[in-house]
Amino acid sequence: MSFQPGDPIRVEVTKWGDRPHWEFDGTWLGSDEYGEWLGFPAGTPHARPGMAFDSAVDTVTLVPRDQHWLATFHAPGIWCDLYIDVSTPARWDGSVLRTVDLDLDVIRMSTSEPEEARPPGLTAGLGEVFIDDEDEFLEHQVGFGYPAEVVAAARTSADELEAAVRAGAAPYDGKAHLPWLAQVR
């Protein structure tokens, strides 16, 4: 499917075994050398079984080509400025982007304390980069029956992403996402 900037899209994320997870709507913004960019204005509803919220700030999500992750860059004002979900490679089904969340997340905390509360139990410092949900990943490998190649791909992706974010490599340099974020505003 060929998109034009501003076209409506939907993101549907499941957990392994076709278990429902997050669903939300946005717009296709465009593409560059890093992949496709999707926009979600502040107030966008996000829902999963047992939880729902409206985003507090504008965000853009980078959908790379054939990689095991989706990177979401947040406008200032919340507890993190970058949240990367390790997942199966995302695929388009018409205007719906589908992927399977593989638990691990690479997070870069905001460099200033936001007014919004941090998630419960999160103790990382300002600007810190870390891999989250290692315990969930280990638990789901057994409980959901992840194949060995899926475990290896997720682990490799998380480790490589953490190193790239720590190094400030593009697109995690604090600049590559800004033109796309400006389109959401």
Domain containing 57 equals 8-176
pTM for this predicted structure: 0.95
Q: Per the domain annotation, does 18 fall within a domain? A: yes
Confidence of residue 1 (pLDDT cuts 50, 70, 90): low
CA dihedral 138, 157, 46, 80 (to 10 degrees): 100
Percent of the chain with pLDDT over 90: 90
Number of domains in the chain: 1
Note the pLDDT of residue 119: 81
Average pLDDT over residues 138-163: 97
The answer to whether residue 39 is domain-embedded is yes
Alpha-carbon distance of 62 to 163, in angstroms, equals: 18
pLDDT in tens, 81-137: 999 999 999 999 999 999 999 999 999 999 987 767 778 888 888 999 999 999 999
pLDDT at 130: 97
8-state DSSP, 133: -
| 156 within a domain of the structure (yes/no) | yes
Q: HSE on the CB side for 64, CA within 13 Å? A: 19
Give Cβ neighbours of residue 149 (< 8 Å, ≥ 6 apart). none
Q: Which of 59-68, 111-120, 151-160 has the lowest mean pLDDT?
A: 111-120
Average pLDDT over residues 28-43: 98
What was the pLDDT predicted at 122? 82
Q: Determine the pLDDT at residue 120.
A: 81
Cα radius of gyration rounded to whole Å, the chain = 16
Angle at 28 between CA 49 and CA 31, to 5 degrees: 125
Residue 34 located in a structural domain = yes
Examine residue 19 and state whether it is found in any structural domain, yes or no: yes
Does residue 93 belong to any structural domain of this protein? yes
**Residue position matching structure tokens 């509360």:** 117
Instruction: Say if 56 falls within a structural domain.
Output: yes
Average pLDDT in the 48-66 region? 96
Beta-carbon contacts of residue 80 (< 8 Å; ≥ 6 apart): 74, 107, 108, 109, 110
Residue 58 pLDDT: 97
Residue 165 inside a domain? The answer is yes
Contact of 100 with 85, CB cutoff 8 Å = no
Sign, CA dihedral 6-41-112-133, equals negative
**Percentage above 70 pLDDT, the chain:** 99
Judge whether residue 75 has pLDDT over 80. yes
CATH number at residue 161: 2.40.380.10
- Alpha carbon of residue 72 to chain centroid: 4
